[in-house]
Structure 1
């Protein structure tokens, strides 16, 4: 019985040392973490083969077809359109 207790205590001590080492060495500098989150080149949203219909008072005003739309959210929000763009604009006569 004493040898089983001794083996268990050695295993437990080894596990505690590994866990303790892990928590002592894993520290993040908040400035570095925030800089990583401020990636300027990655879009917030990407849409492929987008088809948007804009209406006003129940009437279609324009239809936008785009191959690829990328929305960026930064100091000034913008949307980049690539791979083709078609914009059909309708007036009241149609």
Structure 2
């Protein structure tokens, strides 16, 4: 009788062990998410001074006091709550600048949302002033439907909207409500 009882215990332990073994999954991502709220950033970076180089040449310098990393979300993004100062360099090492009080970069779509006192100055000294501006990094295209002022040459053009490539070769102010020509 003791032998049968002992065999029953061994069988039960074996069944439980096999069940546990086959029910385990590789849930490393789930384990890593424990204790992390999806509403909170997964990382915070302060005093950023990021230099992007290609073939030994500096192509861009990004300076920002603070960046929040929300790559833990299904639609991931980075948020620059205290603004950005971005310097872009072309192949001739000529600089264009982008300044904004606030920025969000959506990682999946490569769309950048710039807000608050947005100023873009090109190497040719053309300058765009906007409340909000979107930048499609894949298409290298800038656009907005908010009020803008565009300074090109001696002209100051005011309007409600802007559409252009990043070099301003196809720049178009939409719904123009005034052009002022400045004499130097």
Judging by fraction of residues, say which structure has more helix.
1
**Unmatched 5+ stretches in structure 2:** 1-30, 94-184
Q: What TM-score does the superposition give when structure 2 sets the normalisation length?
A: 0.31
SS at match of 2:75: coil
What corresponds to 2:89 in structure 1? 90
For the aligned residues, what is the CA RMSD? 2.0
Task: State the shift of 1:83 in Å.
Answer: 1.0
**Unmatched 5+ stretches in structure 1:** 1-33
Distance 1:76 1:57 in 2: 32
The answer to whether the 8 Å contact 2:36/2:42 transfers is: no
SS at match of 1:49: strand
SS at match of 1:83: coil
Q: Which runs of 4+ in 1 moved over 2 A?
A: none
How many residues are aligned here?
Answer: 61
Distance 2:54 2:91 in 1: 11
Judging by fraction of residues, say which structure has more strand.
2
Which protein shows a greater Rg? 1
